[in-house]
Amino acid sequence: MPLHNPRRPGGFFTTGRRAAATGLSFAAAVTLLATPATAAPTSSIPTSSTELQGSIEGLPGGSLGSATGSLPGAGQSENEGLYEGSVQVVDGEADDPETLTGQVFDDVNKNSTLDGDEAGIEGVQVSNGVDVVITDAEGRYELPVREHFTAFATQPAGYQVPVDSQNFAQFSYNHSPEGSTDLKFGGLEPTGETPKAVNFPMAKSAQTALPEQTCPVASDTQTYDKEEVEYARKGAVADLMARNDYASCGLLLLGDNVGDDLSLNPDLRELYENANGPIRALPGNHDMDYDAKDDEQALDTYRQAFGAPYYSYEVGETHFVSLDNIIYKGAKEDGKNGGYTEAITDEQLEWLKNDLESVDPGKRIVVNAHAPIVNYSGVVTDNATELYDILAEFPNATTIGGHTHTLEHLRKGDKSADWAKDGVDELPVDQIVAGAVSGSWYSGELNENGVPHAYTSDAAEPGVLTLELAGNELTDYYTVRNEPQDRQFLTGLNSPSWREWAEKAQKWQDDKKEGDGPGPVETDVITSDELGKDSWLTTSFFSGATNSDVKIALDGGEAVDAEHTQPFTGEALNKGWEFTDPVSASHNLSSTGAVAQSSPHLWRIALPEDLEAGEHTADITATDSYGNEYTETFTFTVSGEGEGE
């Protein structure tokens, strides 16, 4: 189930390559030595550590290596249809106040107004959130008016909806005659009665019709204050703003865009306003009006700032669906957060059926939702099986989620005892969990770039997921914040002495850091007397999945297959310090941050009992689901018996 949101208790401290906590009662000395290699760049994203060295002084502790293969792909750097504009709401009394009417039109002069010589666009889907109609030969539509609803048009490939002055896509109209009830952050402004017409402008775009698309997904920016806004700006947001490969597909913000304080919505919009393409957003459980009486009004402030909370659009040969799968329970008597469930409302499921009715079953479908449908520890969305029933006719569907601040590549056919008990015997579609811009909620010590390490609970780092589309084919890659593309590993030594340290450190954390901590620890040193006693060299391979291949060669010897600690063959969650990456856990246990004691992308090999004292190397070669190969050389030390204790 989703992790609770840990908040950092205080300040941060700067660390170097050998990360050490200062100002605390103990330190975690985490040594991460690796030999970088060079890979030829294939897009605007650096693919190797050497390419990035000149732009960032002092990389934070982690693994460097090389990447070969087809990633990153080439996206679209231009979009001729992109223009600033808005949905046209025609003032005046509607002929029938129970019917919303209007046109979807080709906005040739890009003035957001249906002029006499501009033609309607036939065959476009328009919805009131439940019903879906298709425009006629003149681009006209009619929809029943619902209470407190948002109408929206589905952008077809070959067209581009307008964006506002901060690059957020404009394709929806909020209808709320009286506006929101008294909400702390404003909610919806009154719209008055049904307008005479609502017209949806679009401009032709050759780029949105191309089969090759690059589509970044930024999940859980989740800034709770201005300081964290600046951490985001210096981190993954800076990486996105430096890219020029997603002009046609655009950027998707996957929810928990802010952290409860909706007055930060303007800051969030300003953070991303220089994106290379149109921005679309989804709401998360931290984007809600907590003082709303029920779920119906819980997203009113979100809707005012960003528009429709669920919708669809097409780019290239892909049909994108964005769902809101957070249902608010309503405010407590004191007006505070009343809690939520992760589920898809009945009306959304009805809309989804209607939306997909005219979509070719063989088409690529990407279903985005803030909460994943499942994650590696269990079923997250309560009515997952209802969604899977709808998607059963679409064999090329993939679901994308955030929310849990984890990075996961779960594959169709994977099995888990924890899913089975909730009715999912076998994963029917691929599920990707997109990591997090905030990592583990901006926790931990500062790295040398001035942002928190924020290692995630499952042993990944803050960053951004990117989908690569080529016709009906979908691949993806994950880019760690402020790092080259080849940064895909966290590698260390999991030994009995480390696990003993971790247990003490966790107790210290549970006791609110009272008293002395358990002392320093190293994750690249092991004593000779620990060899052969459940001691492993572990590597967290960020892009790893059940169809990945990870091999490790010690000291130039023959490479052996590493053991995947969570193989998804029907077993329950493997949880414990023996299934934990020691690098991220040492950082988080020595400061702040979540530690799950499990991971869907951890591999390990047992360290041989006959390793001699001294320095050793491990050459790691990992191949992801799409054939992209990553390598790393990790250096570690075997000390004499008892020397490391």
Residue 48 pLDDT more than 80? no
237 assigned to some structural domain: yes
Structure tokens at 559: 């490479």
Cβ neighbour number for residue 170 with a 10 Å cutoff: 18
pLDDT confidence of residue 3: 38
Provide the pLDDT confidence category of residue 54 given band limits of 50, 70 and 90. Answer: very low
Please provide residue 219's backbone torsions phi and psi, each rounded to the nearest 5 degrees: -105, 145
Alpha-carbon distances of 469 from 72, 246, 364, rounded to whole Å: 11, 11, 9
Residue 530, SS3 per DSSP: helix
- Per-residue model confidence as pLDDT tens digits over 375-424: 999 999 999 999 999 999 999 999 999 999 999 999 999 999 999 999 99
Q: Are strands 629-639 and 525-527 parallel, antiparallel or unpaired?
A: parallel
CA distance 426 to 374: 11
Structure tokens at 492: 């260390």
Question: In terms of domains, do 552 and 571 share one?
Answer: yes
Question: In terms of domains, do 348 and 465 share one?
Answer: yes
Question: In terms of domains, do 452 and 526 share one?
Answer: no
3-state secondary structure 365-394: EEEEECCCCEECCEECCCCHHHHHHHHCCC
Question: In terms of domains, do 412 and 494 share one?
Answer: no
CA distance 386 to 396: 17
Alpha-carbon distances of 450 from 10, 274, 353, 439, rounded to whole Å: 15, 22, 47, 15
Name the residue range of residue 519's domain.
489-639
Torsion angle in degrees (nearest 10) through CA of 482, 483, 488, 492? -90
Residue 509 DSSP one-character state: H
Alpha-carbon distances of 330 from 24, 96, 499, rounded to whole Å: 41, 33, 43
CA distance 250 to 76: 10
CA distance 256 to 220: 5
Residue 231, SS3 per DSSP: helix
pLDDT confidence of residue 15: 23
Tabulate helix, strand, coil % of the chain (nearest 5). Answer: 15, 30, 55
- Per-residue model confidence as pLDDT tens digits over 29-38: 333 323 222 2
CA distance 162 to 200: 9
169 assigned to some structural domain: no
Question: In terms of domains, do 372 and 497 share one?
Answer: no
207 assigned to some structural domain: no
Question: In terms of domains, do 463 and 362 share one?
Answer: yes
Alpha helices for 415-543 (secondary structure H): 417-420, 496-510
Cβ neighbour number for residue 362 with a 10 Å cutoff: 12
Question: In terms of domains, do 222 and 325 share one?
Answer: yes
Query: Which sign, positive or negative, has the C-alpha torsion 225, 341, 125, 469?
Result: positive
Instruction: Count Cβ atoms within 10 A of the Cβ of residue 558 and give its class: 0-12 exposed, 13-18 middle, 19 or more buried.
Output: exposed
Residue 24 pLDDT more than 80? no
Q: Are strands 407-410 and 397-401 parallel, antiparallel or unpaired?
A: unpaired
Query: Which sign, positive or negative, has the C-alpha torsion 515, 509, 438, 214?
Result: positive
Question: In terms of domains, do 508 and 473 share one?
Answer: no
Final residue of a domain: which of 455, 480, 505? 480
What mean pLDDT is predicted for residues 575-590? Answer: 97
pLDDT confidence of residue 235: 98
Q: Which amino acid is at 482?
A: N
Provide the pLDDT confidence category of residue 114 given band limits of 50, 70 and 90. Answer: very high
What mean pLDDT is predicted for residues 79-95? Answer: 96
3-state secondary structure 237-265: HHHHHCCCCECCCCEEECCCCECCCHHHH
Structure tokens at 632: 């790393």
CA distance 631 to 622: 6
pLDDT confidence of residue 68: 59
Residues paired with residue 526 on neighbouring β-strands, in sequence order: 638
| CATH assignment of the domain containing 554 | 2.60.40.10
233 assigned to some structural domain: yes
CA distance 631 to 65: 5
pLDDT confidence of residue 519: 81
Question: In terms of domains, do 461 and 508 share one?
Answer: no
Structure tokens at 575: 């949880």
Question: In terms of domains, do 420 and 555 share one?
Answer: no
Provide the pLDDT confidence category of residue 111 given band limits of 50, 70 and 90. Answer: very high
Question: In terms of domains, do 259 and 355 share one?
Answer: yes
Residue 16 pLDDT more than 90? no
426 assigned to some structural domain: yes
484 cis-preceded (ω within 30 degrees of 0): no
Q: Does residue 252 contact residue 277 with C-beta atoms inside 8 Å? A: no
205 assigned to some structural domain: no
Please provide residue 209's backbone torsions phi and psi, each rounded to the nearest 5 degrees: -90, -15
pLDDT confidence of residue 83: 97
Residue 186 pLDDT more than 90? yes
Provide the pLDDT confidence category of residue 66 given band limits of 50, 70 and 90. Answer: low
Question: In terms of domains, do 300 and 399 share one?
Answer: yes
- Per-residue model confidence as pLDDT tens digits over 507-531: 999 999 998 887 899 999 999 999 9
CA distance 636 to 525: 6
Final residue of a domain: which of 416, 449, 480? 480
| CATH assignment of the domain containing 467 | 3.60.21.10
Residue 47 pLDDT more than 50? no
pTM of structure: 0.91
- Per-residue model confidence as pLDDT tens digits over 455-495: 999 999 999 999 999 999 999 999 999 999 999 999 999 99
Final residue of a domain: which of 480, 509, 524? 480
Structure tokens at 596: 């799950």
Residue 479, SS3 per DSSP: strand
String of DSSP letters for 74-135: --BS--TT--B---EEEEEE-SSTTEEEEEEEE-TT-SSS--TTPPB-TT-EEESSS-EEE-
232 assigned to some structural domain: yes
What is the H or E stretch that residue 478 is in? strand 473-480
CA distance 522 to 539: 15
Mean pLDDT of the chain: 89
Q: How many domains does the chain have?
A: 2
Q: Which amino acid is at 148?
A: H
Provide the pLDDT confidence category of residue 74 given band limits of 50, 70 and 90. Answer: low
- Choose among 279, 234, 223, 229: nearest CA to 252: 279
What mean pLDDT is predicted for residues 104-122? Answer: 97
368 assigned to some structural domain: yes
